[in-house]
Every structure is written in C-alpha cells, then in structure tokens.
Structure 1
Amino acid sequence: MTVTSTCSALALTLTLFGSGGAAAQMALFDAADYGKAQFPARESTGDAARYIAAREGGAFESIAELAPADRLAQQARPIGRIDMLIRNRRTGEEGTSACTGALLGGGLVLTNHHCLPQEGEIEVLQASILMDYLTLDGRASQRYELDPKPLDWNADLDFAVARVPAGTPSDSFGHVTISASPEGVGTARVVIHHPLGKPKVMSRFRCMHLADRSFDPFVAHRCDTLPGSSGSLLFDDRGIAVALHRAGGLTPDDPSSFNTAVDIARILEISPILAESIAAQDAAPAAPADPADPTTPAARDTGQTGLSTNQMNDILRGE
C-alpha cells in the first residue's frame, strides 16, 4: 500500500523534489517542524485511509503495544526516525523531511541516499535520528544529531551510511543484524518503520519478498508502506535484515504491483564501511539493552498502556 501525502506546502514539495521523486517514500513537512517529535497533521488522506478503514485490523501494528521483552520489540529498538532540514539549492526553499533509519553500531546509521542526498538540487542542512519514538507525544524519545554528509553512499543503490558525531546510540538501543544472504529465510518479511513520520510501527500482514530476481540489484516486495518508510529494513524469519526499502508502487487493487527494496548483499559488495561494520558485529555482537533494567529506554514508563491497532490507524489517518 502506498499513498502520496499532500502537505499544506504542496508547492514546496513540488519545487523541492519535482515529479521525478514521487516514488521515493519520504514524508515532507514545513521547515519549522524540524526538531519536533510530533509533526503537525497537514497531509490529506486517500487510498491508504480507505484501505485501512475497509479492513478492521488495519495494515500497521504499533510497536508500543508490544511488551519490552517481546522479540519483535527488541528487533525494533535500533530503528529510528531520521529527520532532515532540507533546502533547494536553486530556489532557496526549505522544508523538513522524514525517513526511517537503523543503527549499525559504532555510531553508524543506515538509510536511503535519497533521504540524505549528496547529488542534485537538494541540500541537507541538518539531520538527526529520533530513537524510541513510540507514542505520539514523543515522551521518552531520544534524539541524536547526524552528520548530514554520509561516510558512504551510492545513488544507484540508494543507500547512505551516516555518522552520529556525538554519542553512541547503539549502546542504549543495540544494532540491527544484517545478512549478505540475498534470499534470507523464507518469503515472509517484517518491515519496522515510521510511516508519515508517526510513531514506530511494523508491517507483517501479507508482507512478503517476491521470488522474481529479474529486478536485481533490487528486490520486489509486498509489504505495506507510506511516505516516511524510506530507509526501513526488510527482516526475514530470523530477524535478520536482508533488504533496504526504497520506493513505493504497491496498490491495493493491483495484485501484480509491488514496492522495491535494495538487496543488502549488493550494498555489501560496494560498501567497505558497511561490510566492516557487519564484520565487527560478528566479532563482538552488541547485546540489546536489558528491558528489565529500569534505566533502559525500553523499560521506561511512557505513561500509556499502548495503543490498539485501531487507535494507531486513527493516528495514521490524522484523527
């Protein structure tokens, strides 16, 4: 499922990115929103809202509903929302964009290149990753500044490895486990992401990797996403990330449609920094923070008992 978000600053969206970037799933907001946990609901809804409303359970499941010790809750801990203050070099217009990113350990973060672009008209003025954003008010979330110039990136494979210049968030939130296996295990997938810049959710209902390898180095998948999902990872049955989501294309009324991701194995072939980071993880795995420890973010009281699936879908619809 994909939808194009129509912000109040639609003209800004069009002048900043043009029509060619419509498939890239970045969520766009006003420049004044940068640094906030909760972005104002300025978008209008379309097919995604109808799709969710027509299906009682909905497509997205809130991570906040999971017990801290739940395997999927632990798997989701290194996933955060990447916020960028961006400017069009040609027009001077500014805006805020949101994607999803993952902690690699050692102060490194993986996301899409189109989220932290180093080519073209868009310039990233500031960037940060917001961790533990589980409830709409952002209570207990933590923000870490990112260097807007990635250590490694590739426009064709649409990946960027950015650096946290101060602090090591993986000490608190752990890191994702990445595999060079192009197929992963099974076809079922889980995507953990921040659609529309909202609190962290997962897609796993009918979320699957398609066996067709003719799109290499890309992977076709049928996991529901929205703008803001760019930079999220596809996890296999072992909880290992095997692909990096990059663009929409899936529609509810077309069974042959699909979204696209980048095969992690192809990224590892050209990124020594990512390969070295994974080798370091294999040599000394970073255990996630103990959810029973009251000082860890997973164990902190958010003041809520969690959101139901319907409540989460109401949030995504802006209600």
Structure 2
Amino acid sequence: MHTMTKSLSALFALSLTAVAGCSAEVTEEPTQVVESAKIIGTNDLVPVKENGANIPAKYRPLIDAFGRISMGCTATHIGNGVVLSAGHCFNAPSTRKNNFSCAGKTVAWGYRVDSPAYLTTNCTIVYAAQQSRDIDYAIFQVDVAPPVQVEVDYAARPALDSAITIFSHPRSRPLEWSQTCVVKTGATGGWGSNMLSHQCDTDPGSSGATVIDDVTLKVVGIHDGGLVPWNYASYVSDTPLAEILASLAAPPPAASGGDEEGELETTIDE
C-alpha cells in the first residue's frame, strides 16, 4: 500500500514510457478529459479475485457494488438502483444536465479476474450529469438494483493526507484495486479548486470509480481523470446527489390532470 507521494524518479521514467505508448491504446471511454498515463510510479493495481481473498477483509463486502459500464467507465451502486460515475462518460455538458436518456448503456456487476459478472443491468435515466474544470459526475438509475451498495458520506471533504482507496475497471479489465493513497488539494495537480488530487493508480476506464474513505469505507468522491504525476476527483459533497435522493424519496405530487386514474405523463428532458 502507498500513503505517501511516490518516487519522482520512478514517476519520471514511467511517465515517458506511458505517454509514448498511450496513443496506441484504444478505449471506448469518452475522451473529453485528460486521459494520459495515470499509473504513477510503480503499478500498484491489484486484480481482485472472485471472493476478494487477495485484498484486505474489510473491503470484501463492497466489491459486488462495483460495475463496468458498457461504454468503458466504472460505476458504483449506492442503493435502490442509484449509481455514481463520471459525467464525461455520458458526454455531459459543462453545466448540469438533468433527466436524460441513457438507453443502450448497460452495467456488468461483479466482473472479476476469475469470474464473470453476476448481474447485468440497463441504465434507464441519468438524473444529473456535468463535466467541467471544477466538477465531473453522473448520477443515474439502473433497472435492477444490485444486492450490494456502498454507503455515501454526503458532506465529507476528507482532510488533507487522509487515506483513500479506489476500485475500478481500468481499460475495461476485471475489477482492480488501486491500494491506498492520500488526499491532496486539487491545486496540487493543477486541477480545479473544488477537486481533490490523489496518486492512487488508475487508467482510462477507471473514470467514474468512487473514491472511498479508507477508514469509514464511505464514498467521498468520484474519480475523473489524471495526468502524471497526479490524478483528480470530484467531491460527492459538490454534486447534487443529496438533492436527487431527497426528491426520489419524496411522495409524487397530487395529480392535477391526466386520465381517470390520475396518472401523470412522465417526460425526459433531452
């Protein structure tokens, strides 16, 4: 595990190699964000076995909550079929876009190095998504809720140097664990002031993976991209997640028209 800044000498050597080779890699993930080499120093990514036997026991109850989106990003189920990922995975604009279709996109859950996905679900609607210099998130719904979820800390902005961890599907491979790293300010990596920087290893396809507090095991951020020597993520507290979940939990408004049974027509904003 790594909770310190990685060796700059190793980083420099690897960055030259990775940047030289990245143009040959092909990924389905949208490329609006920086997608250059995101392995920082030595490659710490660990392929996760079916039962999580090769990772610390505390993470094992979480691993079925991570999924691979069909366009090449990573998803995390947070309960009731609500899922988090990155806005650029859905070609989100720089201002918040609400309630748009994601028909045709699927999420494969539980795909690991020695086992196929245990469930594949359909994306039904993106409640909100946005990508800009300061934030990059997507909040969407799937038609069947996975049986496992990761809890969310809606207000937390982890203290600098606190430990975090990430599980993702780099380059659409089976689930891999980034081990641990620490939180730095967004400015450390040259990102927006509202983002966080980190040095947990990722790769294209890791976009949308949740950043998890290594102590509470709750979601505190969404990984978005990177450029050696830093990766970056959005704080969940800066997204409209709490607002959206509150609206989903609220009873529907009384019908003011519609058919005899009081049904309201539902529309999707494009």
> Which residue of structure 2 aligns with residue 313 of structure 1?
none
From the superposition, tell whether residues 69 and 247 of structure 1 become closer, same or farther in structure 2 (CA, over 3 Å). closer
Q: 1:222 aligns with which of 174, 199, 203?
A: 199
> Which residue of structure 2 aligns with residue 159 of structure 1?
137
| TM-score normalised over the length of structure 1 | 0.58
| TM-score normalised over the length of structure 2 | 0.68
For structure 2, list consecutive stretches of 5 or more residues without a partner in the other structure. 1-10, 95-100, 251-270
Q: Secondary structure at the match of 2:237?
A: helix
Q: Percent identity?
A: 22
The one-letter code sitting in structure 1 at the alignment partner of 2:129 is: W
The within-5 A match list for 1:239-254 is: 239-250=217-228
Say how many residue pairs are matched. Answer: 218
Report if the CA contact (8 A) 2:48-2:113 is conserved: no
Report if the CA contact (8 A) 1:24-1:114 is conserved: no
The one-letter code sitting in structure 2 at the alignment partner of 1:261 is: A
> Which residue of structure 2 aligns with residue 92 of structure 1?
none
The within-5 A match list for 1:161-180 is: 161-165=139-143, 167-169=144-146, 172-180=147-155
Q: 1:267 aligns with which of 224, 230, 239?
A: 239
Higher strand share: 2
Give the Cα separation in 2 of the matches to 1:118 and 1:79. 21
Give the Cα separation in 2 of the matches to 1:101 and 1:248. 18
Report if the CA contact (8 A) 2:162-2:183 is conserved: yes
The within-5 A match list for 1:1-319 is: 4=22, 6-7=24-25, 21=32, 23-24=34-35, 58-64=43-49, 66-67=52-53, 70-84=57-71, 98-119=72-93, 126-135=104-113, 138-147=115-124, 149-156=125-132, 157-165=135-143, 167-169=144-146, 172-183=147-158, 187-205=162-180, 207-211=181-185, 215-236=192-213, 237-250=215-228, 257-268=229-240, 272-274=243-245
Give the Cα separation in 2 of the matches to 1:163 and 1:183. 27
Give the Cα separation in 2 of the matches to 1:47 and 1:146. 27
The one-letter code sitting in structure 2 at the alignment partner of 1:66 is: G
Residue 102 of structure 1 and its aligned partner are, at CA, apart by 0.6
The one-letter code sitting in structure 1 at the alignment partner of 2:218 is: I
Report if the CA contact (8 A) 1:75-1:176 is conserved: no
Give the Cα separation in 2 of the matches to 1:78 and 1:150. 18
- Structure 1 consecutive aligned stretches of length 4 or more whose deviation exceeds 4 Å: 211-214, 274-277
